């Protein structure tokens, strides 16, 4: 084989490689965000989502998280539950997380610089929590004024505490709680343990109490409705996965899970 022919073959191969490399980089024209649709990153790593959620979502979100992970292999969802005001403080302090779900729109609105556009995924209503069998015979909000009745409420900065004060003020009732708790589950716990005779919680908390506490309904015209907005966090390292989870929370599957737990449709 002549040297001239050899040089021509080498030159042709080099030109072919120069054309093929850019084409391979272009792929199929879609944007590579480092993960596939199942939630597994293309380097084989898993996607881990951290969701900050209001305490009243504790039970239902465990169910929702399991359903989401089943539908999105490769994605793990970890929840951190607390009062909405505590969650807001965590976001402000830069706590690493991907999604935020609060029990009121006021708290979420105060975090506009830190979140994406929120969407309300469910609603809730208040009830009076009493011990099993309602030993103090609490029938309505006015009964919470009874002398000697140990009433516990959430602190005013907690959404359920603010809603509670709203309904009491509307009826011009003065209730002096024996304690003010950092979240709604702490209020429920006091009643369940017999440390309080009554408290104001969400309807879904009574469902979650599984018989350890009972609920006394508050009429619609005296009640307050809580809204639960969900939003991605701008500091998230998994922006696409976070957005997908927030979108899923408004899906038919998620709404059924929420409805089965006693939450109202948005």
Kindly report, residue by residue over 161-177, the tens digit of the pLDDT: 999 999 999 999 999 99
pLDDT value of residue 15: 36
Lowest mean pLDDT among 27-36, 178-187, 209-218, 232-241: 27-36
Q: Is the pLDDT of residue 121 over 80?
A: yes
Torsion of CA 153, 157, 160, 161, to 10 degrees: 30
Two tokens, residue 205: 């908390």
Q: Where are the domains of the chain?
A: 47-123+227-260, 125-225
Q: What share of the chain is helix, strand, coil (3-state, %, to 5)?
A: 40, 25, 35
Q: Is the pLDDT of residue 143 over 70?
A: yes
**DSSP bridge pairs for 53:** 81, 101
Are 122 and 61 in contact by the 8 Å Cβ rule? The answer is no
The CATH T-level fold of domain 47-123+227-260 is: D-Maltodextrin-Binding Protein; domain 2 (3.40.190)
Distance CA 190, CA 188 (A): 5
- In terms of residues, how long is the chain? 266
**DSSP bridge pairs for 200:** 128
Kindly report, residue by residue over 16-60, the tens digit of the pLDDT: 333 333 323 333 332 333 444 445 455 557 899 999 999 999 999
Distance CA 88, CA 108 (A): 8
Distance CA 177, CA 255 (A): 35
pLDDT class for 14, splitting at 50, 70, 90?
very low
pLDDT class for 116, splitting at 50, 70, 90?
very high
CATH topology of 47-123+227-260 equal to that of 125-225? yes
Q: What is the CATH number of domain 125-225?
A: 3.40.190.10
Kindly report, residue by residue over 97-109, the tens digit of the pLDDT: 999 999 999 999 9
pLDDT value of residue 115: 98
Q: 98 burial class (0-12, 13-18, 19+ CB within 10 angstroms)?
A: buried
- What are the φ and ψ backbone dihedral angles of 187, each rounded to 5 degrees? -65, -50
Q: Mean of the pLDDT values across residues 221-225? A: 96
pLDDT class for 12, splitting at 50, 70, 90?
very low
């Amino acid at each position: 084989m002549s040297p001239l022919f050899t040089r021509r073959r080498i030159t042709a191969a080099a030109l072919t490689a120069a054309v093929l490399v850019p084409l391979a980089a272009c792929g199929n024209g879609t944007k590579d965000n480092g993960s596939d649709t199942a939630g597994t990153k293309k380097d084989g790593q898993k996607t881990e989502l951290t969701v900050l959620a209001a305490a009243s979502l504790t039970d239902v979100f465990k169910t929702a998280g399991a359903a989401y992970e089943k539908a999105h292999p490769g994605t793990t969802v970890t929840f951190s539950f607390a009062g909405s005001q505590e969650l807001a403080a965590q976001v402000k302090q830069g706590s690493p997380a991907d999604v935020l779900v609060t029990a009121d729109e006021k708290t979420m609105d105060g975090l506009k610089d830190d979140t994406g556009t929120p969407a309300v995924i469910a609603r809730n209503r208040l009830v009076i929590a009493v011990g099993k069998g309602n030993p103090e015979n609490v029938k309505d909000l006015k009964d919470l004024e009874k002398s000697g009745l140990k009433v516990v409420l959430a602190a005013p900065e907690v959404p359920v505490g603010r809603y509670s004060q709203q309904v009491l003020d509307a009826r011009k009732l003065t209730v002096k709680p024996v304690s003010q708790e950092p979240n709604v589950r702490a209020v429920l716990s006091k009643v369940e343990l017999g440390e309080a005779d009554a408290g104001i919680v969400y309807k879904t908390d009574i469902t979650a109490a599984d018989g350890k506490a009972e609920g006394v309904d508050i009429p619609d015209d005296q009640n307050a409705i809580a809204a639960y907005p969900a939003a991605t966090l701008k500091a998230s390292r998994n922006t696409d996965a976070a957005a997908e989870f927030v979108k899923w929370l408004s899906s038919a599957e998620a709404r059924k899970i929420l409805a089965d737990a006693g939450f109202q449709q948005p």
